[in-house]
Amino acid sequence: MAEHPRVLCKSLWNKIMPAEAAAAMISTGATIATSGFTGAGYPKAVPLALAQRAVEDKTRGKPLRLNILTGASTGPELDQALALTDSVAFRFPYNGDATMRERINTGAAEYQDMHLSHAGTLVRYGYYGKIDFAIIEVAKIREDGSLVFSSSVGMNTAYLDMAQKYIIEVNEWQDERLEGMHDVFNVPGKHGDRKAIPVMKADDRIGTPSMPIDVSKVAAVVISKLPDRNGAFKAPGEDHKKIAQHILDFLDGEVKAGRLPNSLTPLQSGVGNIANAVLVGLNQGKFENMTSYTEVIQDGMLDLLDSGKLRIASATAFSVSPEGQERFNKNIDRYRKQIILRPQDVSNSPEVIRRLGCIAMNGFVEADIYGHVNSTHIVGKGIENGIGGSGDFARNSAYTIFMSPSTAKDGKISAIVPFATHIDHTEHDTMGYVTEFGFADLRGKSPKQRAKEIIEKCAHPDYRPILWDYFKRSCKSPSAGLQSPHMLKEAFSFHTRYLETGDMRPKK
């Protein structure tokens, strides 16, 4: 029996074992549900050991095939290693790893892309069958056996509620002083048991700092010391700065019109460089005393907390650069008062988002001229990541803004197209598009009125004439009435041209 300074519950000392021993408990065909959201707080040692075992299993003709449920994306020790060894039969609800993506797009792994607020809920309803193991990374196990999560909460509460057995990874790399930052609140799966989620403002803490568990379910405790893996952010490029400025100008207009207070309403921003550029812009802007009710704390949000522009940040995970991580650890005692980490069915709760009237800002892959948005699929390539929380926020926020540069691949791909090749957000859910060229305000507009706004304000000038041509000819000979005029034979003509010539623009 080994003791460990971060395993304060003595009855668990005899469960401490090497990652390989814990991984050995998991049989092929198992469904495992893990912690992890962005590259934060995912288990590292056990998945890596599992993948290493998979190599040997394969050589013996007994391939390891698992169903893997997570909070959202994870890091290379989990998604990359298990995808690399072809160990993933089914993946849910989000993936951001390139190797896993390749396996999904070649059909080697099945993937269900799901709204993040739903992931744990659906598991709790029993729709994913028996969960054999929850593999959860923690910063510490308390005396009473309750778990102090690490740099994300994700779906930990649901998965611990539903799993038959637990494997707990205690990660010494995670700062123990994360304790007190989490706000653990359980949304019951049993119908009839759910009450209101009592978050009335972004600041509200409604739960407990650690999660009580049935310690008899703990099959293994593994000690690790592996860092989270989140990439660096780029300094905003010119286009990203322009996008950010259009959003700031729009919000300023809303304040002037009396529709928003100067502190705005709680901000949600997706992950990535454009979102970070918006946060940088907000830090240089005029709004004060802001709050954030979002999924992920990025570097730009730490800047806002540091400057005092942002009063509070509610999220479910971190996605900070290595530099951001250093800054975070240095100031963790202050950040603990400013940051709340919630389960993703609370951070992304439609109930709370609608109540707060959030400002949702998410990227798009492509968007059509009538207001439908593709967040996931890239033409000629396949699925990129997944819808993530963008649907949770876009469907319920007071402002639902989608942003992207107007073109990709040196202008060869237009982000504005006649018909999107995959639709994740419908015309009923989108209120604004923004590109480096401008902000298309879609509120209170019919599809045809939107088309004019979108083509003129957002499309790249190279594409405006061919978008106008499509729209005008569609209005003259529509396949299906004039509410959403289309010419079905040409609806994907931009895409098929790109697939044939490498450029969405016709040859001159």
Binding marks (x or -) toward a second copy, 239..278, rule CB under 8 A?
Answer: ------------------xxxxx---x-------------
Query: For residues 125 and 328, what is the distance between their CA atoms, to the nearest angstrom?
Result: 37
Residue 224 belongs to what H/E stretch?
A: strand 218-224
Q: Please pick, from the candidates 37, 92, 94, 470, the single residue that binds a second copy as defined by CB under 8 A.
A: 92
105 annotated binding-site participant? no
Binding marks (x or -) toward a second copy, 449..468, rule CB under 8 A?
Answer: x-------------------
Q: Is 130 in the site for a second copy (CB under 8 A)?
A: no
Q: Please pick, from the candidates 207, 391, 418, 438, the single residue that binds a second copy as defined by CB under 8 A.
A: 391
Active-site residue, 295 included: yes
Q: Please pick, from the candidates 182, 240, 309, 395, the single residue that binds a second copy as defined by CB under 8 A.
A: 395
Query: For residues 408 and 477, what is the distance between their CA atoms, to the nearest angstrom?
Result: 30
Least distance CB 325 / a second copy (angstroms): 32
Q: Nearest Cα to 328, choosing from 344, 345, 341?
A: 341
Q: Please pick, from the candidates 20, 179, 252, 351, the single residue that binds a second copy as defined by CB under 8 A.
A: 351
Least distance CB 73 / a second copy (angstroms): 16
Instruction: Write out the binding residues for a second copy, residues 422-451 only, by CB under 8 A.
Output: 422-429, 443-446, 448-449
Instruction: Write out the binding residues for a second copy, residues 361-380 only, by CB under 8 A.
Output: 372, 377-380
Least distance CB 272 / a second copy (angstroms): 20
State which residue, 141 or 360, has the beta carbon closest to a second copy: 360
Residues 6+ apart with CB under 8 A from 239: 405, 436
Instruction: Write out the binding residues for a second copy, residues 179-208 only, by CB under 8 A.
Output: 191-192, 194-198, 200-201
Asked if residues 141 and 9 have their Cβ atoms less than 8 Å apart, the reply is: yes
Q: In what order do the strands lie in the sheet with 373-374?
A: 373-374, 366-368, 416-417
CA angle 179, 77, 136 (to 5 degrees): 35
Distances, alpha carbon 394 to alpha carbons 276, 293, 390, 431, in Å: 18, 13, 6, 9
Query: For residues 181 and 148, what is the distance between their CA atoms, to the nearest angstrom?
Result: 9
| Active-site pick, 77, 137, 169, 295 | 295
Q: Which span (56-64, 79-87, 389-397, 466-474) binds a second copy, by CB under 8 A?
A: 389-397
396 annotated binding-site participant? no
State which residue, 25 or 383, has the beta carbon closest to a second copy: 383
Residue with tokens 């890091």: 75
156 annotated binding-site participant? no
Distances, alpha carbon 502 to alpha carbons 449, 495, 497, in Å: 31, 9, 7
State which residue, 236 or 386, has the beta carbon closest to a second copy: 386
State which residue, 2 or 488, has the beta carbon closest to a second copy: 488
The residue type found at 145 is G
Partners of 180 in the β-ladder: none
Q: At what angle do helices 464-476 and 447-457 cross, to 10 degrees?
A: 160
Least distance CB 379 / a second copy (angstroms): 5
Take residue 320 and report the two structure tokens written for it: 């900070």
Instruction: Write out the binding residues for a second copy, residues 38-77 only, by CB under 8 A.
Output: none
Q: Which span (101-109, 138-146, 230-238, 240-248) binds a second copy, by CB under 8 A?
A: 101-109
Q: Which span (51-59, 210-218, 311-319, 355-363) binds a second copy, by CB under 8 A?
A: 355-363
Instruction: Write out the binding residues for a second copy, residues 465-504 only, by CB under 8 A.
Output: 475, 478-484, 486, 488-489, 491-492, 495-496, 499
Least distance CB 451 / a second copy (angstroms): 12
CA angle 136, 342, 232 (to 5 degrees): 75
56 burial class (0-12, 13-18, 19+ CB within 10 angstroms)? exposed
State which residue, 444 or 461, has the beta carbon closest to a second copy: 444
Backbone angles phi, psi at 296, to 5 degrees: -135, 135
Query: For residues 263 and 89, what is the distance between their CA atoms, to the nearest angstrom?
Result: 46
State which residue, 441 or 456, has the beta carbon closest to a second copy: 441
99 burial class (0-12, 13-18, 19+ CB within 10 angstroms)? middle
Q: Nearest Cα to 442, choosing from 371, 336, 343?
A: 371
Least distance CB 297 / a second copy (angstroms): 22
Asked if residues 266 and 176 have their Cβ atoms less than 8 Å apart, the reply is: no
Least distance CB 377 / a second copy (angstroms): 6
Instruction: Write out the binding residues for a second copy, residues 208-227 only, by CB under 8 A.
Output: none
Query: For residues 183 and 312, what is the distance between their CA atoms, to the nearest angstrom?
Result: 14
State which residue, 94 or 133, has the beta carbon closest to a second copy: 94
Least distance CB 440 / a second copy (angstroms): 14
Backbone angles phi, psi at 460, to 5 degrees: -70, 140
Size of the site for a second copy (CB under 8 A): 85
Q: Please pick, from the candidates 381, 409, 472, 473, the single residue that binds a second copy as defined by CB under 8 A.
A: 381
Least distance CB 54 / a second copy (angstroms): 21
State which residue, 286 or 354, has the beta carbon closest to a second copy: 354
Task: Point out the annotated binding site.
Answer: 385, 389, 409
- Which residues are known to be catalytic? 295
Task: Point out the annotated binding site for CoA.
Answer: 385, 389, 409
